[in-house]
Amino acid sequence: MVPTLLAAASAPPPDVTLSMIIFAPLVGAAVIWALPARTDLERFRVRVTALAFTLIPALIATYEFLSNVAVPTQGALPQPLVNATWVGGFLVTLGYHIGTDGVNSLPLTATAVAFPVVVLASWRQRVRSRFYFSLLLLIEVGVVGDFAARDFGLFLVFYLWPAVPASLLLGVFGGEGAHRAARRLLAVWLLGGACLFVGGLLLAVRTGRHTFSLTALTTPLTLPHGVGEAVFLLLLAAALARMALVPLHTWFVDALGTASPPVAMAILLSSVPVGGYTLIRVAENAAPLAAIHLATPVLALALLSVLWGALGAYGEPDLRRLAAYAAVSLSGDVALGAVGFSETSLAGSLYLCVAIALGGGLLLLVAGALVDRQRVLRLSSLQGCASRAPRLFALWVVGIATAAGLPMLAGFPGLYQVFLGTFPGDPLGVAAALLGLLVLAAALWRAAGRTFLGAPAEGLERVRDAQGSEWYAAVALVATLVVFGVAAGRFLGYSVNGTDLISGRVAAVAPQPATHHPSHGRTHG
């Protein structure tokens, strides 16, 4: 008895840092509900509380991330790790199993860092501020929790978690057409969750392990023909619903086109990165052989999205919807990297998810700032506003430079890794994706030319430059984009050590190449 007690006493306490990162915003939401918000001062306290409870996880996550990337090989090992039984004795066992490694650490940290920016961008929110900020914090819980979860059940819970807060925020605080967009968002996310649930259940039952632990479910085994494909398709549907790939993208464009800028940023943060992560971490990891079998249709969807999004951005006269289409196009590149299956392309996809969330957020912030003040949607009505809003112009340039993959910003390392890692397997796919990138860049610069440059249009008096919290939020986003662009080398080694495991797992079940033809450099497996 005594030795047992001594052993228990000497055992290290469970690492709570990750739990703090996940649940601090939840505590914040509860605190905000308890605060009064009748006067300006009280509403100010609400905002400060929201900022504080998003800064706490951001700082902890950044510290943890920087500690982890210092030792790149740790990317293959989840740290910190908490594994406790949550629900047992049922059909399957659910665990409170969380941890960070090379695959999830980057998106988790980036989202944790981005949410204070969202709060800062919402600083002018005066109406129903308690409701607004608590919902925003609830969304963060879902997104960060999703990245941290290492149990399928927990992942599912966090996957569905932001659906209601996001649709409420969109419906209540959005512009014209927001109610319809909110309903669509809710439907798609719930259907995605349903697919995820059925896929996970099928996987758990068919493997016979009766557990939702992602580690157990992804231990090498081959599912019977048809079951693996069914599992992968269901998980893929869940991923595509959040990634906003064509044809499941209209909810995304509608949501981002009607939401207020901070809400649009929050929706973007909780859609593309979560979808990309679901595809790579869950779908490909769970059914690797099926992922290889179905790689061509996914590749086709990815390229379709790249071109569809670019063309949509080319023809779209509404700045916010244009930014949404740009995100759809880049989301196609994420899927392209995911079916490249190499550790390089997978790491690139995850990096690109972060770039889309941050760069797209910046574009939405600028577009929203212009549209809200000018009360117009069309580009031509804003022509020549660079002279009145040079800061907004500079921010827009940074945003589109990120989307176009210009160096020193977060978009470049992601796109470069995606293309580099995918090229040996799908050179034509990469060429088509680069063509899509060219059209996207042309669309974005064309929009910049029409909106900011040229002879000033009439009635630009209402256009004011970015100031105050809006400016600080944008500067914080730009700084984050630059950090992720310039210091990519510091993060990639750690990330690749994580994606190595997924790539290796897929490679283990892949048909080995049989012959090699030296004359044209391709092999036939």
- Residue 31 or 448: the one with the smaller Cβ distance to another protein is 448
Please select the residue that binds another protein; options are 3, 13, 89, 521, rule is CB under 8 A.
Answer: 521
Contact yes or no for 379/321 (Cβ under 8 A): no
Q: Which residues pair with 94 in a beta bridge?
A: 87
Stretch that binds another protein, among 4-12, 93-101, 407-415, 462-470 (CB under 8 A): 407-415
Interaction mask 216-255, another protein, x per CB under 8 A:
----xxxxx--x------------------xxxxxx-xx-
Stretch of 59-67, 121-129, 353-361, 435-443 lying at the interface with another protein (CB under 8 A): 435-443
Per the CB < 8 A criterion, the answer to whether 447 and 319 are in contact is yes
Backbone dihedral region for residue 454 (phi beyond 0: left; psi -120 to 50: alpha; all else: beta): left
SS3 (DSSP) at 161: coil
- Please say which residue, 51 or 245, places its beta carbon nearer to another protein: 245
Among residues 342, 349, 374, 381, the one that binds another protein under rule CB under 8 A: 342
Q: Measured from the CB of residue 490, what is the shortest distance to another protein in angstroms?
A: 8
Q: Among 398, 419, 420, which residue's Cα sits nearest to residue 410?
A: 398
How big is the site for another protein, counted in residues (CB under 8 A)? Answer: 95
Q: Which of residues 375, 455, 458, 461 is near another protein by CB under 8 A?
A: 455
Cβ proximity to another protein: between 45 and 179 the closer is 179
Q: Establish if 208 lies at the interface with another protein (CB under 8 A).
A: yes
Q: Which is nearer to another protein, 206 or 293 (CB)?
A: 206
Interface with another protein in residues 361-400 (CB under 8 A): 384, 397
Q: Is 12 exposed, middle or buried (0-12, 13-18, 19+ CB in 10 A)?
A: exposed
- Could you say which of 376, 446, 464, 482 contacts another protein (CB under 8 A)? 446
Say if strands 515-517 and 522-524 run parallel, antiparallel, or are unpaired: antiparallel
445 binds another protein (CB under 8 A): yes
Query: Given the complex with another protein, which of 468 and 504 has the nearer CB atom?
Result: 504
What are the structure tokens assigned to 347, written together?
């790491």
Distance of CA 56 to the CA centre of its chain: 20
- The residue among 45 and 490 lying less far from another protein, judged by its C-beta, is 490
Binding another protein (rule: CB under 8 A), the pick from 232, 302, 492, 498 is 492
In sequence order, which residues have a C-beta less than 8 Å from that of residue 488 and are 6 or more positions away? Answer: 351, 410, 412, 413
Distance (Å, whole) CA 95 – CA 371 = 46
Q: Check: CB of residue 284 under 8 Å from CB of residue 506.
A: yes
Residues 35, 434, 475, 483: which binds another protein (CB under 8 A)? Answer: 434
Residues 293-312 that bind another protein (CB under 8 A): 308, 311-312
Rounded Cα–Cα distance for residues 275 and 434 (Å): 22
Name the residue nearer to another protein (CB basis): 420 or 483.
420
Tokens at residue 409, please? 């910003």
**195 CB-near residues (< 8 Å, 6+ apart):** 234, 235, 237, 238, 241
